[in-house]
């Protein structure tokens, strides 16, 4: 569906209506954890593996939303499962569709122990001619406060669990009707790629992100190949190698500046892990090759980082790294202090990099009208004063 103007399919429901789940969802558990939960409800050890396999198939291949759909599981077993567990996903509280077909979902999650009623997180689907990409969040808010990013103005509220990360993919498949029995002329799936580029820094929530991505890429389940899953980090150096070793997905780096002084301002994490260390971690990234290049994201900010001298330095810095560069026209958000570079300048910059031998596509802004474009995501859970923001930034630098 490509409406001619932005529209909302699900209008935001009031926070007061949120009822936290009464039972735990099985979504996000590994096979071994599923076996343990089955053991907790009395399933005998010899049966656990087979039952876990059945559940895995119903949940991740068929997208079952209720145990009653699991017709090859005995009635008694279904009743036991339903008494103790659910296969619920995060609740969709709003859905917006951009004029260009991009869809953004606002999802509501239980708050944990911080006295809040609930938390909210966003997830975005971007259809293109040859693929459909789902941009997934890893945290509610973010501590890193990149100065060009809307999400960075939101307090870090909490890390998402593996179930809440996988749950975003499940919600998107539900809303798009993208499960296995989807009727299409060629049977192709709508969601073909996953990018961990939504709210939060995924490498500050490493374990949950790893567990979730292993489920998403499991070929007996959701089955999105690791080559089609990209994890984007602002540069948490110690966890970059672990990403290659333990998850094996494609890596993207939010670079945005080629000198430490400027990167310290745009991506304050740079003060902790400066460019030299970050680029060395990229050189050492397990599995990187010309066929599996690292993506460097570079937001184009007028008069800030978009000179040809910056382009020259960028090419020098990336020497020896199998790299491609994504140039991102800056997406403005309310209160941002930057402007997008002029189109002319973006083209010159791109051409310089291209002539130096790097692929340098300019990313077409998508979903701007529903604030779903890069760096625009932000839920209403928490807003920060400048003072609070600076305090959080200082905390992030010392943890
Ligand atoms: S760009 Fe990423 S890491 Fe930086 S503030 Fe935004 S969400 Fe956080």
pLDDT at residue 117, as a whole number: 75
* Catalytic option among 122, 135, 282, 340: 122
Q: What are the phi and psi torsion angles at 299 (to 5°)?
A: -80, 135
Active site residue 340: no
Contact 324, 360 (CB under 8 A): yes
| CA–centroid distance, residue 383 to ligand 1 (Å) | 15
What are the sequence ranges of the domains in the chain?
31-84, 91-398
pLDDT at residue 239, as a whole number: 97
pTM (2 d.p.): 0.89
| CA–centroid distance, residue 173 to ligand 1 (Å) | 26
4 CB contacts (<8 Å, ≥6 apart)?
A: 99
123 has which bridge partners?
105
CA–CA distances in Å: residue 346 to residues 167, 295, 308: 37, 18, 10
| CA–centroid distance, residue 13 to ligand 1 (Å) | 27
From the list 279, 308, 306, 294, the residue with the least C-alpha distance to 359 is: 294
Contact 256, 263 (CB under 8 A): yes
Supply the DSSP symbol for 293: P
Q: Which atom of ligand 1 is nearest to the CA of 200?
A: 7
Atom 7 of ligand 1: nearest residue by CA position: 200
Supply the DSSP symbol for 90: P
Distance CA 96, CA 100 (A): 11
Q: Which two tokens stand for residue 285?
A: 């990234």
Q: C-alpha angle with apex 297: 389 to 167, nearest 5 degrees?
A: 70
Q: What are the phi and psi torsion angles at 152 (to 5°)?
A: -65, -10
pLDDT per residue rounded down to tens, the chain (399 residues): 434 456 676 777 777 777 778 899 999 999 999 999 999 999 999 999 999 999 999 999 999 999 999 999 999 999 999 999 999 999 999 999 988 899 999 999 988 666 667 888 999 999 988 899 999 999 988 888 888 888 767 777 789 999 999 999 999 999 999 997 665 555 678 999 999 998 899 999 999 999 999 999 999 999 999 999 999 999 999 999 999 999 999 999 999 999 999 999 999 999 999 999 999 999 999 989 998 999 999 999 999 999 999 999 999 999 999 999 999 999 888 888 899 999 999 999 999 999 999 988 887 777 777 766 655 666 554 444 344 444 434 433 443
Contact 244, 251 (CB under 8 A): yes
Q: Which helix H or strand E contains 132, and what residues bound it?
A: strand 132-135
Q: Which atom of ligand 1 is nearest to the CA of 234?
A: 3
Distance CA 206, CA 203 (A): 5
pLDDT at residue 303, as a whole number: 97
Q: Which atom of ligand 1 is nearest to the CA of 197?
A: 2
Q: What are the phi and psi torsion angles at 207 (to 5°)?
A: -60, -45
CB-based pocket (< 6 A), ligand 1 = 142, 144-146, 149, 151-152, 199-201, 234, 254
Contact 61, 69 (CB under 8 A): no
| CA–centroid distance, residue 376 to ligand 1 (Å) | 10
Dihedral angle over CA of 177, 183, 184, 188, nearest 10:
70
CATH topology of domain 31-84: DNA polymerase; domain 1 (1.10.150)
Supply the DSSP symbol for 43: -
Distance CA 98, CA 260 (A): 37
Q: What is the DSSP string of 72-92?
A: TS-HHHHHHHHHH-B-PPPEE
For residue 245, how many other CB atoms are within 10 A of its CB? 11
Contact 190, 127 (CB under 8 A): yes
Distance CA 302, CA 173 (A): 38
* CATH number for the segment(s) 91-398: 3.20.20.70
């Amino acid at each position: 569906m490509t409406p001619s103007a932005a529209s909302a399919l699900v209008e935001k429901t009031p926070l007061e209506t949120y009822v936290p789940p009464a039972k735990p969802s099985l979504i996000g558990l590994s096979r071994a954890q599923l076996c343990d939960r089955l053991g907790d409800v009395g399933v005998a050890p010899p049966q656990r593996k087979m039952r876990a396999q059945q559940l895995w198939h119903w949940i991740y291949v068929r997208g079952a939303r209720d145990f009653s759909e699991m017709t090859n599981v005995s009635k008694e077993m279904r009743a036991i499962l339903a008494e103790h567990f659910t296969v619920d996903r995060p609740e969709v509280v709003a859905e917006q569709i951009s004029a260009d077909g991009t869809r953004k979902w606002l999802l509501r999650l239980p708050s944990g122990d911080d006295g809040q009623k609930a938390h909210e997180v966003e997830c975005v689907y971007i259809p293109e001619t040859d693929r459909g990409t789902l941009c997934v969040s890893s945290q509610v808010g973010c501590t890193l406060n990149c100065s060009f990013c809307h999400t960075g103005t939101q307090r870090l509220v909490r890390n998402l669990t593996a179930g809440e990360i996988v749950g975003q993919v499940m919600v998107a498949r539900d809303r798009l009707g993208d499960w296995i029995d989807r009727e299409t002329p060629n049977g192709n799936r709508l969601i073909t790629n996953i990018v961990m580029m939504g709210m939060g820094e995924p490498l500050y929530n490493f374990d949950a992100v790893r567990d979730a991505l292993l489920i998403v890429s499991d070929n007996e389940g959701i089955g999105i190949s690791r080559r089609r899953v990209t994890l984007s980090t602002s540069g948490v150096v110690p966890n970059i190698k672990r990403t290659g070793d333990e998850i094996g997905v494609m890596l993207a780096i939010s670079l945005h500046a080629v000198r430490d002084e400027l990167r310290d301002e745009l991506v304050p994490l740079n003060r902790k892990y400066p460019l030299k260390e970050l680029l060395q971690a990229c050189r050492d990234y397990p599995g990187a090759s010309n066929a599996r290049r690292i993506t460097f994201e570079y937001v184009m900010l007028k008069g800030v980082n978009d000179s040809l001298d910056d382009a020259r330095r960028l090419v020098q810095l990336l020497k020896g790294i199998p790299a491609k560069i994504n140039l991102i026209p800056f997406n403005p958000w309310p209160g941002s202090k930057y402007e997008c570079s002029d189109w002319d300048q973006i083209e010159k910059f791109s051409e310089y990099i291209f002539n130096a031998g790097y692929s340098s596509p300019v990313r077409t802004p998508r979903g701007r009208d529903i604030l779903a474009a890069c760096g625009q995501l932000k839920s209403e859970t928490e807003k920060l004063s400048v003072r609070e923001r600076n305090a959080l930034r200082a905390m992030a630098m010392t943890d």
